[in-house]
Amino acid sequence: MKLIRLLSVTAFSLALLTFSGCVHGKNGAGGSGSGASDSDSVNGMALPERQDGVSFTGSNVDRNKFRPIYFGFDSHEISGEERGKIEEVANFMKSAPNNLIIAGFTDERGTPEYNRGLGERRAQAVREALIRAGADGSKIQTVSFGSEMPADSGSSEGAWAKNRRAEFGVVR
Amino acid sequence: MKKLHALSLLATCLLASATVTWGAETPTITISKSDKIAIAIGALSGADGPQVAKILQNDLAMSGYFNVGPAANAGFIVGGTSSGTSLAGSVTDRAGKTVLSKTFNGTARGKVHAYADEIIETLTGNKGIADSKVAFVATHTGHKEIYVADADGSNVRQLTSDGTISVGPKLSPDGTKLVYTGYKSGYADVYEIDLNSGARNRIIKFPGTNIGACYSPNGRELAVILSKDGNPELYTTSAGGGSPHRLTHTPGVESSPTWSPSGDEIIYSSDDHGGPQLYRISASGGTGRLLSTGHGYNTEPNWSPDGKRVAFTVREGGFTIAILDLGSGNSHTVGSGEGPAWGADSRHLIFAEGGALILLDAQTGQKTTLVSGLGKISEPTWSR
User: pLDDT tens per residue, chain B (384 residues)?
Assistant: 444 444 444 444 344 333 333 333 443 444 444 579 999 999 999 999 999 999 999 999 999 999 999 999 899 999 999 999 999 999 999 999 999 999 999 999 999 999 999 999 999 999 999 999 999 999 999 999 999 999 999 999 999 999 999 999 999 999 999 999 999 999 999 999 999 999 999 999 999 999 999 999 999 999 999 999 999 999 999 997 779 999 999 999 999 999 999 999 999 999 998 899 999 999 999 999 999 999 999 999 999 999 999 999 999 989 999 999 999 999 999 999 999 999 999 999 999 999 999 999 999 999 999 999 999 999 999 999
* A38-93 tens-digit pLDDT: 333 345 789 999 998 899 999 999 999 999 999 999 999 999 999 999 999 999 99
Residue B142 distance to chain A (closest CA, Å): 12
Alpha-carbon distance B80 to B49, whole Å?
8
Above 90 in pLDDT, residue A11?
no
All CATH 2.120.10.30 domain ranges of chain B, comma separated, are: 133-382
Beta carbons of B253 and A24 less than 8 Å apart? no
In this structure, are residues B311 and B295 in contact, taking their beta carbons and an 8 Å threshold?
no
Please name the CATH architecture into which domain B133-382 falls: 6 Propeller (2.120)
What is the per-residue pLDDT for B182? 98
> Do B253 and A118 count as a contact with CB atoms less than 8 A apart?
yes
Cβ-defined contact of A116 to B188 (cutoff 8 Å): yes
The pLDDT of residue B242: 77
ipTM: 0.90
How close B59 comes to chain A (CA, Å)? 31
Cross-chain Cβ contact A117/B378 below 8 Å: no
Alpha carbon distance, N-terminus to C-terminus of chain B: 19
Classify residue A51 by burial, with Cβ atoms within 10 Å: 0-12, 13-18, 19+. middle
Min Cα distance B157 → chain A (Å) is 22
Calpha distance B96→B39 (Å, rounded): 13
Residue A32's pLDDT is what? 31
Helix, strand or coil, per DSSP, at residue B377: strand
Which helix (DSSP H) or strand (DSSP E) does residue A95 occupy? helix A83-95
What is this structure's pTM?
0.87
Q: What is the pLDDT of residue B240?
A: 72
Q: What is the CATH number of domain B2-124?
A: 3.40.50
β A140-146/A100-105 pair status:
parallel
Domains of chain A: 54-172 (3.30.1330.60)
The CATH 3.40.50 portion of chain B extends over 2-124
Local structure of residue B364 (DSSP, 8 states): T
Under an 8 A CB cutoff, do B232 and A48 touch?
A: no
